[in-house]
Amino acid sequence: MSYAVIAIDNFFCYHTIMADNLMEKIVALCKRRGFIYPGSETYGGLNGTWDLGPLGTLLANNIKNEWWRSIVLSRDDVVGLDSSILYHPKVWKASGHVASFTDPLIECKICHERFRADHKKDISEHEKMHDKQKWTEIKPFNLMFKTYVGPIDNEENKTYLRPETAQGIFINFQNVINSTRVKIPFGIAQIGKGFRNEITTGNFLFRVREFEIMELEYFVKPETAEEWYEYWKKERLNWYLKLGIKKSNIKLAEIQKKDIAHYARKATELWYNWPFMGFGELEGIVNRGDYDLSQHAKYSGRDLSYLDQDTKEKYLPYVIEPSVGVGRAMLAFLLDSYYEDEKRVVLKLHPKLAPIKVAVFPLLTNKLPLVKMAKDIYDNLKVKINGMIAFDDRGNIGKRYYSQDEIGTPFCITVDFQSLEDKTVTVRDRDTTKQERIKIDNLSLCLTNKLY
Ligand code: ATP
């Protein structure tokens, strides 16, 4: 082996270790600090499920709120929806999911382990285990979880847990038009649970069997679809950049026609630079054409076309869909914000996402006036920052700072002896560790400016 090859091998080896380490560190931190626990851990775990702990719930809510704010609340052309998870069985026939929501399945004939045939890395890893590998033919495997509505388990009552929320939007398209004043172009957004019986799960929150998904279906005139497709690609990329994802770790990738889903005319993926695979899908942005509305019109026998009140033109709109899993986005934000040096571990989360915005400490815990003043500040700020605040009076002050750094708290307030004299406190910045003295009377304004 030449030196060059050894050098390249070492390079990959080094980076693989670094990458694996980062995932291990994130998984361990999430468990230790109450972000994410393995699902059903008490019973040995249930593959592909994870439970959000106290901090994980806050982080997920902040991600969803930021998405909702940017997609719905800050715009005049998008409304929200919260449809049921169970839909009429015909929905899934019409949408093409019964026939085509499949992944290619391949089984090892020796140990009967099953894989996704298009996950080449897993396949070649497995081939190293057996001397003479034998695979079955590739078969399509439908990813939808089956269930029965009502007390009779027969074909007629069989439906599926939704694998995405989009169909709930399409089947309410006419309801929204008839009950609101939306006009094309407009969107309907929804955040909700989706279920996919993935052939293999893994990489923590990246591929799971139950997850929340944030989806926008944006309805446009067919001839403007291309323009809006480009618009949403930019919007969505900017959303991640504004929330702190490093520019070098995210990019748009146009998907080739042969690789796109049955309903899509065009598809782009927002790729994140995952430590376990390099650049890969974080979010999908798809031009679905009029596929869904025309299928539902056909299967339901209803006219789902849109009537332009001004021009009296009647047509089936095209749909542009950005769609992302809350957990997959959360994993990207966690990985991207992780920082460590000799002294401390920090999640440099954007203040809007940080689960705890501010922590308040009395310098010493046995000095009653300090504790009282700190408690008063805490109570006052708690209302102003929607409860996302912590009070800590354990151990020494340095440890308290590091403990907050590790969960991404942007600011720590310390009440010290000077505070009793001049009614000021120190405010420490998580990223620079610099402290400034601020008047207690100005605290709330100053912090809300920094945070929001
Ligand atoms: P993949 O190719 O990774 O299986 P997909 O192309 O099937 O994903 P979409 O149907 O486009 O994914 O789903 C939209 C988004 O939902 C994805 O970009 C991802 O953020 C999220 N998502 C999809 N499947 C999962 C899953 N099993 N676990 C977590 N998130 C998921």
Closest-CA residue to 83 (of 152, 205, 167): 167
Do the Cβ atoms of 62 and 153 come closer than 8 Å?
A: no
Rounded CA-CA distance 26/414 in Å is 28
Question: With a 6 A CB cut-off, is 213 part of the ligand 1 pocket?
Answer: yes
Question: With a 6 A CB cut-off, is 192 part of the ligand 1 pocket?
Answer: no
Place of tokens 């590739």: 138
Tell me: pLDDT of 133 over 90: no
Binning pLDDT at 50, 70 and 90, where does residue 18 land?
low
- Range list of H helices, 162-307: 166-170, 173-179, 225-242, 291-300
Which CA distances in Å does 228 have to 144, 187, 325?
30, 11, 22
Tell the residue nearest (CA) to atom 4 of ligand 1.
Answer: 207
**pLDDT, tens digit, 9 for 90 and up, residues 261-310:** 888 999 999 999 999 999 999 999 999 999 999 999 999 999 999 999 99
Binning pLDDT at 50, 70 and 90, where does residue 169 land?
very high
Rounded CA-CA distance 88/159 in Å is 7
Rounded CA-CA distance 408/244 in Å is 13
Query: Which helix (DSSP H) or strand (DSSP E) does residue 450 occupy?
Result: helix 443-451
Rounded CA-CA distance 347/431 in Å is 9
**pLDDT, tens digit, 9 for 90 and up, residues 55-87:** 999 999 999 999 999 999 999 999 999 999 999
Binning pLDDT at 50, 70 and 90, where does residue 2 land?
very low
Question: With a 6 A CB cut-off, is 281 part of the ligand 1 pocket?
Answer: yes
What does the pLDDT read at residue 398?
95
Percentage of the residues of the chain whose pLDDT score is greater than 70: 96
- Range list of H helices, 33-119: 54-68, 89-95, 97-100
Rounded CA-CA distance 228/224 in Å is 6
Do the Cβ atoms of 338 and 25 come closer than 8 Å?
A: yes
What separation in Å is there between the alpha carbon of 271 and the centre of ligand 1?
A: 12
Angle, in degrees to the nearest 10, between helices 368-384 and 443-451: 50
Cβ neighbours, 10 Å, residue 131: 6
Angle, in degrees to the nearest 10, between helices 326-337 and 54-68: 110
Tell me: pLDDT of 365 over 80: yes
Tell the residue nearest (CA) to atom 18 of ligand 1.
Answer: 283
What separation in Å is there between the alpha carbon of 287 and the centre of ligand 1?
A: 16
**pLDDT, tens digit, 9 for 90 and up, residues 400-433:** 999 999 999 999 999 999 999 999 999 999 999 9
Tell me: pLDDT of 443 over 90: yes
Tell me: pLDDT of 19 over 70: no
3-class SS string, 95-117: HCHHHHCEEEEEEECCCCCEEEC
What does the pLDDT read at residue 15?
38
Tell me: pLDDT of 22 over 90: yes
Positive or negative, the Cα torsion across 203, 208, 211, 214? positive
Rounded CA-CA distance 261/264 in Å is 5
Give start-end residues of each CATH 3.40.50.800 domain in the chain. 356-451
Tell the residue nearest (CA) to atom 25 of ligand 1.
Answer: 207
User: Which residues share a beta bridge with 320?
Assistant: 218, 287
What separation in Å is there between the alpha carbon of 325 and the centre of ligand 1?
A: 7
Tell me: pLDDT of 184 over 60: yes
Say if residue 361 is exposed, middle or buried (CB neighbours under 10 Å; 0-12, 13-18, 19+): buried
3-state SS, residue 273: strand
What does the pLDDT read at residue 11?
35
Place of tokens 């999911």: 97
Question: With a 6 A CB cut-off, is 322 part of the ligand 1 pocket?
Answer: no
What does the pLDDT read at residue 366?
87
Tell me: pLDDT of 10 over 80: no
Cβ neighbours, 10 Å, residue 166: 25
**Class (C level, CATH) for 356-451:** alpha beta
Tell the residue nearest (CA) to atom 15 of ligand 1.
Answer: 324
Task: For 431, list phi and psi in degrees, rounded to 5.
Answer: -80, -40
Percentage of the residues of the chain whose pLDDT score is greater than 90: 90
Say if residue 18 is exposed, middle or buried (CB neighbours under 10 Å; 0-12, 13-18, 19+): exposed
Superfamily of domain 3-99+146-336: Bira Bifunctional Protein; Domain 2 (3.30.930.10)
Binning pLDDT at 50, 70 and 90, where does residue 7 land?
very low
The span from the first CA to the last CA of the chain, in angstroms, equals 56
What does the pLDDT read at residue 386?
87
Question: With a 6 A CB cut-off, is 286 part of the ligand 1 pocket?
Answer: no
**pLDDT, tens digit, 9 for 90 and up, residues 306-338:** 999 999 999 999 999 999 999 999 999 999 999
Rounded CA-CA distance 246/243 in Å is 9
Tell me: pLDDT of 353 over 70: yes
Give start-end residues of each CATH 3.30.930.10 domain in the chain. 3-99+146-336
What is the average pLDDT value for the chain, to the nearest integer?
93
Binning pLDDT at 50, 70 and 90, where does residue 14 land?
very low
* DSSP 8-class letter at 223: G
One-letter amino acid identity for 42? T
pTM listed for this prediction: 0.94
- 118 alpha-carbon distance from chain centroid: 24
User: Which residues share a beta bridge with 131?
Assistant: none
Joined together, the tokens standing for residue 23 give 């995932």
Tell me if the bond preceding 275 is cis, omega within 30° of 0.
Answer: no
Question: With a 6 A CB cut-off, is 289 part of the ligand 1 pocket?
Answer: no
What separation in Å is there between the alpha carbon of 321 and the centre of ligand 1?
A: 13
3-state SS, residue 59: helix
Rounded CA-CA distance 101/160 in Å is 12
What separation in Å is there between the alpha carbon of 28 and the centre of ligand 1?
A: 24
Do the Cβ atoms of 416 and 370 come closer than 8 Å?
A: yes
Closest-CA residue to 285 (of 357, 346, 214, 379): 214
